[in-house]
Structure 1
Amino acid sequence: MDTKIHICEGQLGSVNARRNFMSKGFKIHSRVGLASACDTLISQTFGGGNHFRIGVILQQAILILLLACFPCWAILINTEPILLAVKQEPEIAKLAQSYVKIFMPALPATFMFSLQIRYLQNQGIIWPQVITGLVANILNALINYIVIFVLNWGVTGSAVASCLSEFIMVAILSAYIIYKGIHKATWGGWSRACLQDWGVYLHLAIPSMVMMCVEWWTYEIGSFLAGLISEVELGAQSVVLLWANIAYMFPMGFSIAGSVRVGNALGAGNTDQAKLCAKVTMFGAGFVSVCLAILIGGLHSHISYVFTYDEQIRQRVSDIMTFYAPFIILDATAAACGSIIRGAGKQKIGALAYFVGFYGIGFPIGVPLMFAAKMGIKGLWAGLFICIFIQCIFMVVYMVRMNWEKATTEAQIRAGAGEASEGAQFAGGEWDVLELVPEPSAEDKIPHTALVLRRGLALAAMIFILAVGIIVNVIVQNMIV
């Protein structure tokens, strides 16, 4: 059957879906999730005026994310065995493994770029990363053209191009930060303090990662399940996911702004401003999503032409889009709530809502509809619709009932409001001197030598995990051969 889907042609297209789950699922979503603790810590600290503490938080994040590379590598190096275990074609699994292995050295650069973005955007600086991304994408397209069509490197060339692009983005943004002197107000040099309070960062980072990963892993797993039914179902699922990505980008801008502004306001002790920012975020994301839902719903029979001319796939996409349109509104609402929750430092609630929603409601309903009821991907999306509907109700109710005064107090403690003269906040024309003094954490009482030993053991544990991954890979490869 000739499925003329533009996004999945030839060798590169065949490996795209498989390597996406491995490299995108474990790279992009884990990096964004772990870096998202900065959405709370940096935004609140910047709002509280304790600017040099931002540099310490960034140092903590750099060390923690570099350590996170090791378990990610341990998983990525076993891409082929994992894909074979879920019944993917051996040739495609091998190609995906080849792509991922070449890309693996770029993982630290990927993590650092994510931190750079959050370092800037949580201080209200947006355009540098936008321009950097635009320049890097142009260079990526040029490099891909050279290595794929001129040098004829195929999948290897695509991986090399992606790898180089990650380093280019980090280099460009680093050069901009240094050239403009943006770091001078927040970076006082490497400090021993960056070894302290990792627990605070991880308690925010891990739930943030769950919030990010759970949803997108669900979509990627759905693609695998669609592939078990037929090529038409897989093609339709790919098109729907592409439109889902596009639709998500519009309300995401409001979500990012909401997270930053809510965090800034809470860190500054301005509870009313935080509430107002939350309302504006919800309204903005809701308005944009309603417009998108009307547009996509009205064009449901035609939008698949952007990606494919195959009539069977187009018809299937049209069927899904009829009820995917209202899904856009719910998804945008959930994303806006999630961003506000991150800005307020309530990631555990968000992680619980996402995990229970997708794996406790969405999947248990969607998968039986998909196979037992023979509804295909329409059944999967029906389950996800129910999931996101319940999720929205829960998160909106939680946000309305949230104790904003308590959230403000917690934010000021995280921001170190009583550490220095920055604790004095200017509001309503008068200086209001804060008397919040955070209690020293358990780690603050640990001698520096013992703290270094702890972090050294953490590094050893991460290296051990990578070593286990390599050993497993060698054993499995010998079994395959």
Structure 2
Amino acid sequence: ILKITFKLSSSQFLSYLFDYLILFVSTVFRGHLGKVELDGVTLATAAISVMGIGIGYGLSAACDTLSQAFGAGNLCLVGVITQKAILILLLACLPCCKNNTFILVSQAAFMYIIEAKYLQNQGIIWPLVITGVVTNTLNALINYIFLFVLDMGVTGSAAANTISQYSLTIILFIYIRWTGLHKDTWPGELSMDCLQEWDSFIHLAIQSMLMMCAEWWTYEIGGLLIGEVEFGAQSVVYGLANIAYMFPVGFSVAGNVRVGNAMGAGDVAQAKLSAKLSMICAVSVAVVLATVVGSSKNVIAYIFTNDKVIWGENVNYYFFLQSNQAAGGSIVKGLGKQKIGAICNLVGYYAVGFPIGIFLMFAAKWGIFGLWTGLLISVFLQSVFLSVLLFKLNWKKASEEVRNIGFPFIKS
């Protein structure tokens, strides 16, 4: 089990890394256009992420329950759920995006998310890594040509990003078709079953979206409230937090897949062991990461800025607690209990952590340190809640619910 978990987590880490590098490399190229252009595109990217891409990622998290169907050996259901997700998320592009450019970008991003979920929940990760390498190479080349050869400026940057997103989606689709990875779950035709029980899927998708976006939106809103003076510091800390998050998130996703597979197969012992192993590995990696980052915080800060006060000890503790919270949240999604995860995140961030962070930021005049202190309190409470929930969970009953009630998309 440990070998399988490490295999899944390492490949998942690389997949997330290459996905993130597309945006990072594009940002590096845009940085040479000028400060005004960089700030403008950064704000536009944040708006697209919050109001479009973030919603798509959240809605697609309903597909995390695919691992249950795959574990139960119901391969046809895996294909039907995927078809249903494609239709619903493509329709979700329309209210999320009000102009043609947003729709173009979101369609590509939404399709890639579904392709990734389709493979991840079957334990197939390396195609995501391979397509990530190819697309990142292509992205760097397109950015260079559009920005420095054709001198297209911000318009060229937007065009390069759109082409890269579509390339990622198309290359992965071609890989799936060429290798025949879809044959067992999707014979080729569109099943009419994918048009049924949309209300069940959408209900779970909204819960998944709230679970993910509650966290995502908190950081973006906090970045806007922090003000111009400390905005750069917030960007640095938030960016490093995202990179640090990728290390333990591999184990989180591995736990999601393994727990879902085991629950679908009715193997309670395997599900419990996979959950424990996932959380232990995620926390262990986070401890090492927090130690390394904490001991070299001045060096890391100096790479980005001369301001040495941007890094507080609370950020180190945050890395540790966030990994536990992420692992617990992924396991909850693998169990199909997104509603509990959504309530946990909404209460943790908006009823406790964020209000405390705002108070410390403005009333106590702690600035960015106050914001991250509030976030630290939030993830601490969430980690405790999720750990207790999984410890007290009646795994046998949860497995019976999955197998007896059926999957939340199609009635048997």
Instruction: Give TM-score scaled by structure 2 length.
Output: 0.89
1:142 is displaced (CA, Å) by 1.2
- Determine the structure 2 residue equivalent to 1:328: 319
- Determine the structure 2 residue equivalent to 1:276: 273
- Determine the structure 2 residue equivalent to 1:225: 225
1:415 is displaced (CA, Å) by 5.8
Asked whether 1:65 is paired with 2:64, we answer: no
Point out where structure 2 has 5 or more consecutive residues left out of the alignment.
Answer: 1-26
- Determine the structure 1 residue equivalent to 2:136: 137
Alignment map for 1:36-435 (pairs within 5 Å): 36-40=61-65, 42-74=66-98, 77=99, 102-188=101-187, 189-227=189-227, 230-231=228-229, 233-308=230-305, 311=306, 314-318=307-311, 320=312, 322-413=313-404
Greater mean alpha carbon deviation, residues 394-403 or residues 267-276:
394-403
Q: Distance in 2 between matches of 1:15 and 1:362?
A: 29
- Determine the structure 1 residue equivalent to 2:45: 20
- Determine the structure 1 residue equivalent to 2:12: none
Q: Which has the larger radius of gyration?
A: 1
**Alpha-carbon contact 2:197-2:410 (below 8 Å) kept:** no
**Alpha-carbon contact 1:21-1:220 (below 8 Å) kept:** yes
Residues paired across the two proteins, number:
382
1:353 is displaced (CA, Å) by 0.5
Q: Distance in 2 between matches of 1:11 and 1:284?
A: 42
**Alpha-carbon contact 1:35-1:114 (below 8 Å) kept:** yes
**Alpha-carbon contact 2:352-2:378 (below 8 Å) kept:** yes
1:363 is displaced (CA, Å) by 1.4
- Determine the structure 2 residue equivalent to 1:419: none
Amino acid of the structure 2 residue aligned with 1:55: G
Q: Identity across aligned pairs (percent)? A: 50
1:305 is displaced (CA, Å) by 2.6
**SS of alignment partner, residue 185 of structure 1:** coil
Point out where structure 1 has 5 or more consecutive residues left out of the alignment.
Answer: 78-100, 417-437, 445-481
Amino acid of the structure 2 residue aligned with 1:119: Y
* RMSD over equivalenced CA pairs, Å: 2.0
1:204 is displaced (CA, Å) by 2.0
Amino acid of the structure 2 residue aligned with 1:375: W
1:289 is displaced (CA, Å) by 0.3
1:413 is displaced (CA, Å) by 4.3
Residues 261-294 of structure 1, C-alpha deviations (whole Å, 9 max, x = no match): 0000000010110000000100110000000110
**Alpha-carbon contact 1:366-1:379 (below 8 Å) kept:** yes
Q: 1:283 to 1:144 in 2, by over 3 A?
A: same
**SS of alignment partner, residue 298 of structure 2:** coil
1:226 is displaced (CA, Å) by 1.4
Residues 312-370 of structure 1, C-alpha deviations (whole Å, 9 max, x = no match): xx22223x3x2210110100000000000000001000000000111101111111211
Amino acid of the structure 2 residue aligned with 1:350: G
Q: Distance in 2 between matches of 1:37 and 1:278?
A: 19
Q: Distance in 1 between matches of 2:335 and 2:409?
A: 20
Q: Distance in 1 between matches of 2:249 and 2:410?
A: 36
Q: Distance in 2 between matches of 1:180 and 1:272?
A: 34
1:198 is displaced (CA, Å) by 1.6
1:28 is displaced (CA, Å) by 2.8
**Alpha-carbon contact 1:215-1:354 (below 8 Å) kept:** yes
**SS of alignment partner, residue 329 of structure 2:** helix
Greater mean alpha carbon deviation, residues 8-17 or residues 143-152:
8-17
Q: 1:183 to 1:414 in 2, by over 3 A?
A: farther
Residues 366-398 of structure 1, C-alpha deviations (whole Å, 9 max, x = no match): 112111211111111111111111111111111
Amino acid of the structure 1 residue aligned with 2:348: G
1:411 is displaced (CA, Å) by 2.2
